[in-house]
Amino acid sequence: MDGCEQRKKGRKIGRFHVLTDTALQKRYTHIELAEMAISGGADTIQFREKRGSTRELIDVALKLKEVCSKAGAVFIVNDRVDVAIASSADGVHLGQKDFPISLARKILGDDAIIGGSATNLEEARFCLMEGADYIGFGPVFPTASKEDAAPAKGLRLLKEVVETIPLPVIAIGGINIENMDDVLKTGVYGIAVISAVCCHEDPLYAARIMKEKMAF
């Protein structure tokens, strides 16, 4: 969708999202990965962490928020509305079985960025109806980054969602330097990656190459 940088009350939706990870790799912390990803061109950092206490998650989120704020990047917390509130995150990303998007909007307010995950057109429509600002659609390709990931959806369905849903669509799942050109040809607003950056031998380099491939 053209002209979506500023949707509803000036919310800025990034085009290159990097989800930091310390499960698939152990070399770098969430903070280090965020710094390298942003230096490489990522405009949005998503914090997704299933392990640790709420206090521990808040501590990491506060540090990530500081890194993002200094660099002018958007900071999104996955799943945890409470952690997003505590860290003054720019928004949250919610799955179909997570905290309801409509309730998150009531709690976080009109200025918060709220993304919704979808694996098919029906789920994408539901995110739209609930008031999401963008759709995270996937997995486009097979992925090992998420234990309960749905089967790969492919480029054809991704393109259908892009052409049907009047929201920015961020493609996710198995996207890497080699296949991202095909993903971008579907007309997606942006991409989100985990292992392609976090598990690369040089995360900053990987982010930079991916950013260069994005013509917008």
* pLDDT tens over the chain, length 216 residues: 343 444 455 578 999 999 999 999 999 999 999 999 999 999 999 999 989 999 999 999 999 999 999 999 999 999 999 999 999 999 999 999 999 999 999 999 999 999 999 999 999 999 999 999 999 999 999 987 666 667 899 999 999 999 999 999 999 999 999 999 999 999 999 999 999 999 999 999 999 999 999 976
106 assigned to active site: no
All structural domains of the chain with their residue ranges: 6-213
48 assigned to active site: yes
Which contacts of 65-73 are long-range, i.e. CB under 8 A and separated by 24 or more positions? 65/89, 67/31, 67/34, 67/35, 67/38, 68/34, 68/38, 71/38, 73/14, 73/38, 73/42, 73/43, 73/44, 73/45
- CATH fold of the domain at 6-213: TIM Barrel (3.20.20)
Choose, from 48, 65, 80, 208, the residue flagged as catalytic.
48
Q: Please give the backbone phi and psi of residue 94, each rounded to the nearest 5 degrees, phi first.
A: -125, 135
- What global pTM score does this model have? 0.93
Choose, from 105, 146, 159, 211, the residue flagged as catalytic.
146
117 assigned to active site: yes
